[in-house]
Amino acid sequence: MRRLILALLPLALLATSCSTTDYDLGVTASLPPRFADKDPQDFGARSPHRHQVHGIDVSKWNGDIDWHTAKKGGVSFAFLKATEGTDRIDSRFAEYWQGAKSAGVLHAPYHFYYFCSTADAQADWFIANVPKEAVQLPPVLDAEWNPASPTCKIRPPADEVRTALKRFMDRLEAHYGKRPIIYTTVDFHRDNLVGYFDNYPFWLRSVANHPGNIYPARKWAFWQYTSTGVVPGVPTNTDINVFAGSAKNWNKWVASVSR
């Protein structure tokens, strides 16, 4: 009996030590699509529709959003563009976060990082324009290359990129009391993030394949699986995302980041 107890002890410790980033994907079952999609992809057995918790990410280009309709239609969370660089704020950010809050849609602001400004200058800009009451879920760092930018096309070395991103996130975490989420794309992740920031939640863009197939070894919390979604209450095509785990685990995670 004593040998049996000793054998089981490591398993018990493992179970009790699971963090809020253990999203128990295995408990989710196959579900029908919650929203329409103007360009649906076949993700095979690992479809985003297996997931129970869905959300959107929006900016001013999404127009007049009816947040109560979106909530009733199945939107559980929303990532809202707030700032970019050191001089841009999304013109609908205040309207969106207040509308989402009124409808009971959990929300988080995101910042589009600009590699021609310092991390501290961008953190100052974000903090100056995003009140703490707008940060219901952890703030998001949108880290991607932007070849279409008319003013900043530089691509710093990977070590400089990581140092800058870490400084920016440290500033936000110190101010808002929540560890930021990192949003990224395949090429930016490959160039800068592989093997780094494992203690941060990741939100990955992957619109043609499961993120597990194109972000090797990267554990993720959110998956952006389409940009052509049709969501009640949103007048334009929109990005749709899923949370990695079950509805039960979602509630646990929200409780943990809301303290």
Residues annotated as catalytic (active site), given as ranges: 57, 142, 144
Which residues pair with residue 58 across a beta bridge? Answer: 80
Q: Say if residues 223 and 242 touch (Cβ distance below 8 Å).
A: yes
**Which residue in 180, 40, 48, 79 sits closest to 123, CA to CA?**
180
Q: How far apart are CA 131 and CA 215, in angstroms?
A: 33
Q: Which residue has the tokens 């000793």?
A: 6
Query: How many residues does the structure list for the chain?
Result: 259
Measuring CA to CA, how many Å separate 148 from each of 122, 152, 153?
20, 9, 8
Q: How far apart are CA 50 and CA 52, in angstroms?
A: 7
Q: How far apart are CA 66 and CA 47, in angstroms?
A: 27
